[in-house]
Amino acid sequence: MKPFTRIWLVVLTMLVVASLTLNAYFFLIITNLRRGLQDLITNVRVGLATVGREPFTVQVYVDEEIPFVTTVPINETLTWPLDINYPLSTVINTYVNVPLLGRQDIAIPIDTVIPIRYTLEVPVQTEVPISLTYHLQTTVPVEIALPPEIELTLDEILQQAEEGLQ
């Protein structure tokens, strides 16, 4: 055999061995990927069985400015009972015409207490405008339950993915 043929035979042998090694390596990668995807599908099925039956809760953070503009009509009658004693202390100056004497100026002193018993009714008819902005910052728990239709659709998708792996 010629040396040139021998070199080519060695090179071709090395290429065949490298090709077989790469094929074996890719076969292992694909097998592990397939096994991992089957495990993932199994875990998703178990998760769907749990999630589909029971609602789950998600915490939603709310940070909003809420404007509030309104007018409150007020149509009321306010009733105030008055029960007071009003002290009156004064002098009234007047005159009297007395025959033969003529006009006579007199001063009449008044010193008394006037009782006042009265119910005061005050009608109030107005509109009160209210305008404010409320800054709402809170976390609200939101409970989510998947409807059975979504669970069936996801199950069909998982079956198709499982069939594609086989």
Looking at residue 9, its pLDDT comes to 86
The token pair at 134 is: 């409320």
Looking at residue 14, its pLDDT comes to 92
- Which regions of the chain does DSSP assign to beta strands (E)? 56-98, 102-144
Q: Is there a contact between 98 and 24 (Cβ–Cβ < 8 Å)?
A: no
At residue 152 the predicted structure's pLDDT band, cuts being 50, 70 and 90, is: low
State yes or no: pLDDT of 50 exceeds 70.
Answer: no
Identify which has the larger pLDDT, 81 or 146. 81
> Bridge-partner residues for 143, per DSSP?
57
At residue 42 the predicted structure's pLDDT band, cuts being 50, 70 and 90, is: confident
113-135 pLDDT per residue, tens? 999 999 989 999 999 999 999 89
Mean of pLDDT over the chain? 84
State yes or no: pLDDT of 51 exceeds 60.
Answer: no
Measure the CA–CA gap between 132 and 138, rounded to whole angstroms: 19
54-103 pLDDT per residue, tens? 677 888 898 889 999 999 999 999 998 989 999 999 999 998 888 888 88
Looking at residue 18, its pLDDT comes to 92
Looking at residue 1, its pLDDT comes to 61
| Domain layout of the chain by residue ranges | 1-55+145-166
The token pair at 145 is: 């339950």
